[in-house]
Amino acid sequence: MSKIKVLFVCLGNICRSPLAEAAFRAAAQDAGLDVEVESAGTANYHVGERPDPRSIAEARKHDIDISGYRGRQLQAADFHEFDYILGMDASNMTNIAAVDPGDGKAHVAMLLDLVPGQQGREVADPWYGGPEGFTTTWNEVKAGADALVAVLINENN
């Protein structure tokens, strides 16, 4: 199987998409899939910054260290480089479409659209809430990550 490249996208690339990146990297590794995983924000507010401390703390609960991640902004070249570009909410999807050059190879979707029975559901932005919101985010992105693993295993069988 050739290496599959996956990019998770949110607004700031400091709360949701770093957790999605972490959850998917772990799930893919557990499944023995050869993947390359990154995350990005549609906004440039937090370029070069580490994830939100609440996301770092949530990942640590799952024995994953994301403190070395750094924010970066989605760019048109990503649509040529990645096989999957997965946004978190409807607003992300609008922003992703605005950067899409139209002739890339990436499959573009909202993450929870991959989860049976969760189509159309958003991974809500936890930025304005408390730490418990980040546990909800983890559970949502973990469901999406596991669903993507299942899709990739199916595709390659």
**Using CB under 6 A, which of the segments 5-13, 58-66, 74-82, 111-119 binds ligand 4NP?**
5-13
From the CB of 18, what's the least distance to ligand 4NP, in Å?
7
From the CB of 36, what's the least distance to ligand 4NP, in Å?
21
When binding is defined by CB under 6 A, the residue of 104, 124, 127, 151 that contacts ligand 4NP is 127
Examine residue 15 and tell whether it contacts ligand 4NP (CB under 6 A): yes
**Using CB under 6 A, which of the segments 8-16, 22-30, 74-82, 142-150 binds ligand 4NP?**
8-16
Quick check: 15 and 54 in contact, CB under 8 A?
A: yes
Is 113 in the active site?
Answer: no
Q: Which amino acid is at 69?
A: Y
- Find the distance separating the first CA and the last CA of the chain, reported in whole Å: 10
Is 125 in the active site?
Answer: yes
User: Most distant CA pair in the chain: distance in Å?
Assistant: 42
When binding is defined by CB under 6 A, the residue of 21, 125, 140, 146 that contacts ligand 4NP is 125
Q: Which two tokens stand for residue 94?
A: 């609008």
Beta bridge partners of 73: 41
In the block, tokens 């799930």 appear at 27
Q: Which amino acid is at 11?
A: L
Nearer to ligand 4NP, 4 or 13 (CB): 13
CA 119, CA 127: separation in Å to the nearest integer? 23
Q: Which amino acid is at 19?
A: L
Q: E strand or H helix at 5, and its extent?
A: strand 4-10
Exposure class string for 50-76: b at 16+ Cβ within 10 A, else e: bbbebbbebbeeeebebeebebbbbee
Catalytic residue among 52, 78, 89, 125: 125
| Binding track over 31-70 against ligand 4NP, x by CB under 6 A | --------------x-------------------------
Residues that bind ligand 4NP (CB under 6 A): 10-16, 45, 125, 127
- The catalytic residue positions are 10, 16, 125
